[in-house]
Amino acid sequence: MKIELKEISRKFKDADSELTIIENLSISFEEKTSFAILGRSGVGKSTLLHILGTLDKPTSGKLLYDNNDITKLNDKDLSRFRSQNIGFIFQFHNLLSDFTALENVAMPLIIAKENEDDAYKKAKEILKMVGLEKRISHIPSKLSGGEQQRVAIARALINNPSIVLGDEPTGSLDVSTSKYIWDMILELNKEMQNTFILVTHNKDLAFQLNKVYEMIECGFLNNLK
């Protein structure tokens, strides 16, 4: 799926001030392409990713998915659209602590009311793809940080979403685990052929993706590759 932002702005207002984080940003993210977004802390990368993922609404402007303006959808349709099309990988995994790896990964399908047996079967397959077939009955606290993040990646990908958004997906891991997880993300991206947009601090990793942008003031995206 192709994503287009048209003259997007995002301002945060409080009683006596207005903060413009993104101003008049227009950009396209072509389908089946991987993008990295670099930029200093606080510049607005997460804000942009939340808008792309429909978790936050822009103050003005349009967000087009395959030429449809989805800012016009109501909350119910928007959340259905999100769960069918977008996978999220956050810096902190957000796994449900009382559920096993298998249940966590199957959850998006079960919420979408898919047949439970099919959901668990798919969850097993994808846990195998991330190398965790021997850990499916573990709850998150019995897994290492890297393993938890692999479960989160499996959960993000189980719907085979056409868009995967990652917000510093390896930001909380040590260097070698981070490299391992990153290689896995690249491998899965090749296999699944979806659009990946990843915010990262790591320039070396960023340049392994198809396109690289650096976010500077007011959400301007500088094209580095």
Ligand X SMILES: Nc1ncnc2c1ncn2[C@@H]1O[C@H](COP(=O)(O)OP(=O)(O)O)[C@@H](O)[C@H]1O
Least gap, CB of 46 to Mg ion (angstroms): 3
- Contacting residues toward ligand X, per CB under 6 A: 12, 19, 21, 39, 41-47
Identity of the residue, 147 or 167, whose beta carbon is nearer to ligand X in the bound complex:
167
Task: Report the C-alpha gap between 159 and 123 in whole angstroms.
Answer: 10
Identity of the residue, 164 or 188, whose beta carbon is nearer to ligand X in the bound complex:
164
Given a contact cutoff of 8 angstroms between Cβ atoms, the answer to whether 205 and 199 are in contact is no
Least gap, CB of 167 to Mg ion (angstroms): 6
Identity of the residue, 21 or 184, whose beta carbon is nearer to ligand X in the bound complex:
21
46 counts as binding Mg ion under rule CB under 5 A: yes
What strands, in cross-sheet order, belong to the sheet with 163-167?
86-89, 163-167, 195-199, 34-38, 211-215, 221-223
170 counts as binding Mg ion under rule CB under 5 A: no
DSSP H helices in the chain: 45-52, 75-85, 101-111, 116-129, 145-157, 175-192, 203-206
Taking CB within 5 to 8 Å according to partner kind, which of ligand X, Mg ion, none is near residue 21?
ligand X
200 counts as binding Mg ion under rule CB under 5 A: no
Identity of the residue, 46 or 54, whose beta carbon is nearer to Mg ion in the bound complex:
46
- Residue 207 CA: distances (Å) to CA of 20, 64, 200, 222: 29, 26, 11, 14
Least gap, CB of 50 to ligand X (angstroms): 8
Q: Name residue 62's beta-bridge partners.
A: 6
Least gap, CB of 44 to ligand X (angstroms): 4
Identity of the residue, 53 or 140, whose beta carbon is nearer to ligand X in the bound complex:
53
Coil/strand/helix, residue 215: strand
Q: Which residues bind Mg ion (CB under 5 A)?
A: 46
